Amino acid sequence: MSGINYLTQEGYDHLKHELDHLKTNGRQDAAKAIAEAREKGDLSENAEYHAAKDAQGMLEMKINDLEKKLMNVRIIDESTIDTSQVVLLASVKLLNHKTKKELNYKIVSEAEADLKVGKISVNSPIGHGLLGKKVGEKAEIKTPAGNLIFEVLEISH
């Protein structure tokens, strides 16, 4: 998607809040853990110190990743979504022909994807395979679990 992250206002606010939390509380907690481990003596053989330094490095990587995601954000107004076909930020009701179960997903950017709440990435096999489909059309999607056929039952915002 050419380096641009398309987010809802809710998704943007969530990422911004997470970044602010990591920069304040996360960094304070990491510094405190390093200071406590330092007090325990010889740093060359102090596993707790090395673990705290590794955790600090992971924290800084996560902060850097969030900053990159928020750098090129375009916030999309969901009310302007064209529901004549499956597009980014559309909610879709699908029928899985293999299991005969109905599924509800919202197609979102990778930064907002969370399968637990029904948000799938536009870059995932299912998200990508559904793009451009209209109500009544079927999409045959190659997934790690094999080929699946989904029928689009409904599209909304």
pLDDT tens string 53-68: 999 999 999 999 999 8
Query: What's the confidence (pLDDT) of residue 1?
Result: 41
> Is a pLDDT exceeding 70 seen at residue 2?
no
Asked if the 78-156 domain carries CATH number 3.10.50.30, the reply is yes
As a whole number of angstroms, the distance between CA 58 and CA 21 comes to 15
Q: Provide mean pLDDT across the span 21-30.
A: 95
Domain residue ranges of the chain, discontinuous segments joined by +: 5-75, 78-156
Query: What's the confidence (pLDDT) of residue 79?
Result: 78
Q: Write out 19-60 in H/E/C secondary structure.
A: HHHHHHHHHHHHHHHHHHHHCCCCHHHCHHHHHHHHHHHHHH
Distance of CA 113 to the CA centre of its chain: 3
What's the mean pLDDT when you consider all of the chain?
A: 89
Q: What is the pLDDT of residues 83-123, one digit of tens each?
A: 899 998 899 999 999 899 999 999 998 888 899 999 999 99
Query: What's the confidence (pLDDT) of residue 25?
Result: 95
Q: Rounded to two decimals, what is the model's pTM? A: 0.69
Q: What is the pLDDT of residues 32-43, one digit of tens each?
A: 999 988 888 777
Asked if the 5-75 domain carries CATH number 1.10.287.180, the reply is yes
